[in-house]
């Protein structure tokens, strides 16, 4: 037989406080004295009491849940982002409900419709996008939507991104400045704003230096596809002397193929640079030169944006673009350093 549920009234009686005091102790952000909180938590532990979060959300009209749609979890950037976002939201009494999106989808409207059924207080879209119609529906119902590491031209969608154009340009300047002249590019998913902006910045940097892109292949932000793209780029006798790969996840694939399949040395025969600065980029096995996205700052901006909107009950479209940072490691050589 199932055990009978302990009520807040029983906890209040044992702790010698009011029922409302028990409610405040278990409501994030509520004001309660440390002494009262200690007595209530001790009584709750003794009785085995757990607050009914769902019932409380029905009373307040707030679920204190943020829906997170994410894809590309093979890429270290997104599990790291999920962990940090979850921790930061928990600090202010919110929890994350994660929905996985198919990586092949340009938008994920069906997933968003499912999220709305859970009465979430806000939505974060990481690595995916949504249609303008559904964005307008969310705005009309007062549910803030933030695109994380994606941008969108729709006026109803807010976003937090790095300056991907500036990052691509910085990598072009670096490779040209270190003496490379046959510079190739492995692109990400063609429908992603991150891919488009990084390539545009990279091409602009090369053009300003009087260079054209030596060769190009598509990796689709996928390890296996990026490995095939690397084989394609290096299947000729006149090979690139440097490759910018649109994110670190694909750059690892490129380096693995270059070293272990093609027998080429990195960086002596070819330099490889990436984008993101995920943890394995600093591992000795890769030691990857890359453009760092400041994940902590991106998460902070996202949380601040969500909480501001939720408190005001009026989502206001905001677009935050953060500067990244070039991180130079051993996967790229400098001019004359054969």
Calculate mean pLDDT across residues 174-201. 95
pLDDT at 3 (0 to 100): 44
Q: What is the mean pLDDT of residues 287-309?
A: 95
Radius of gyration of the chain (CA): 25
Q: List, as one string, the DSSP characters of 221-250.
A: T-HHHHHHHHHHHTSSSS--SEEEESSHHH
For 62-162+294-324, CATH number out of 3.40.50.2300, 3.30.1330.80, 1.10.10.10, 1.50.10.150 equals 3.40.50.2300
Query: Is pLDDT of 116 > 90?
Result: no
pLDDT of residue 59: 53
Ordered by start, the domain boundaries in the chain are 8-51, 62-162+294-324, 164-293
Does residue 118 or residue 61 have the better pLDDT?
118
Q: Spell out the long-range contacts of 19-24 with Cβ–Cβ below 8 A and sequence spacing 24 or more.
A: 23/56
Crossing angle of helices 8-15 and 34-47, rounded to 10°: 120
Query: Would you say residue 110 has pLDDT above 80?
Result: no
* Residue 102 pLDDT greater than 50, yes or no: yes
Give me the helix-helix angle, 295-312 and 77-91, nearest 10°: 40
Residues of the chain above pLDDT 90, percent: 56
15-24, 46-55, 80-89: which has the minimum mean pLDDT?
46-55
* Cβ neighbours of 18 (radius 10 Å): 13
CATH code of the region 164-293: 3.40.50.2300
pLDDT in tens, 211-238: 999 999 999 999 999 999 999 999 998 9
The residues pairing with 319 across neighbouring beta strands, listed in sequence order, are: 159
Average pLDDT along the chain: 88
Query: How far is Cα 295 from Cα 251, in angstroms, rounded to an integer?
Result: 19
Q: Does 62-162+294-324 match 164-293 in CATH topology?
A: yes
Taking the C-alpha atoms of residue 277 and residue 295, their distance in angstroms, rounded to an integer, is: 10
- pTM score of the predicted model: 0.81
- Measured over the CA atoms of residue 162, residue 166, residue 169 and residue 175, the dihedral's sign is negative
Mean pLDDT of 120-142: 77
- Confidence tier at 287 by pLDDT (50, 70, 90): very high
Among 180-184, 190-194, 254-258, 282-286, which is the least confidently predicted range? 190-194
Given a cut of 60, whether residue 193 has pLDDT beyond it is: yes
pLDDT value at residue 267: 97
Bridge partners, 148 (sequence order):
126, 160
pLDDT grade for 22, boundaries at 50, 70 and 90: confident
Candidate from 25-29, 141-145, 267-271, 323-327 with smallest mean pLDDT: 25-29
Q: Are 156 and 132 in contact (CB under 8 A)?
A: yes
């Amino acid at each position: 037989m199932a055990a009978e549920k302990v009520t807040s009234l029983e906890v209040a009686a044992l702790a010698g406080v009011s029922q409302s005091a028990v409610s405040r102790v278990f409501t994030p952000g509520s004001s309660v004295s440390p002494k009262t909180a200690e007595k209530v938590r001790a009584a709750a532990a003794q009785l085995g009491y757990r607050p009914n979060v769902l019932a409380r959300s029905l009373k307040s009209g707030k679920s204190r849940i943020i829906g997170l749609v994410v894809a590309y979890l093979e890429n270290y950037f997104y599990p790291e982002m999920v962990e940090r976002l979850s921790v930061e939201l928990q600090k202010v009494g919110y929890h994350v409900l994660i929905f996985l999106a198919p990586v092949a989808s340009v938008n994920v409207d069906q997933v968003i419709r499912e999220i709305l059924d859970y009465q979430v207080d806000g939505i974060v879209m990481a690595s995916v996008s949504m249609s303008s119609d559904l964005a307008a529906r969310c705005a009309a119902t007062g549910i803030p939507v933030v695109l994380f590491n994606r941008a969108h031209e729709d006026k109803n969608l807010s976003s937090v991104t790095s300056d991907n154009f500036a990052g691509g340009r910085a990598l072009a300047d670096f490779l040209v400045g270190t003496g490379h002249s046959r510079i190739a590019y492995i692109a990400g998913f063609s429908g992603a704003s991150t891919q488009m902006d990084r390539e545009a910045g990279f091409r602009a940097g090369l053009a300003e230096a009087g260079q054209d892109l030596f060769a190009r292949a598509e990796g689709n932000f996928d390890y296996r596809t990026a490995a095939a793209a690397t084989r394609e780029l290096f299947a000729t006798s006149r090979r690139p002397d440097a490759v910018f790969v649109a994110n670190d996840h694909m750059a690892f694939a490129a380096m693995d193929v270059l070293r272990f399949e093609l027998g080429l040395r990195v960086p002596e025969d070819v330099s490889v640079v990436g984008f993101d600065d995920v943890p394995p980029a600093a591992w000795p096995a890769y030691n990857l030169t890359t453009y760092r996205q400041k994940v902590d700052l991106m998460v902070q901006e996202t949380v601040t944006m969500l909480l501001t909107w939720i408190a005001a009950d009026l989502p206001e479209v905001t677009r935050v673009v953060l500067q990244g940072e070039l991180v130079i490691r051993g996967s790229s050589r400098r001019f004359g350093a054969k």
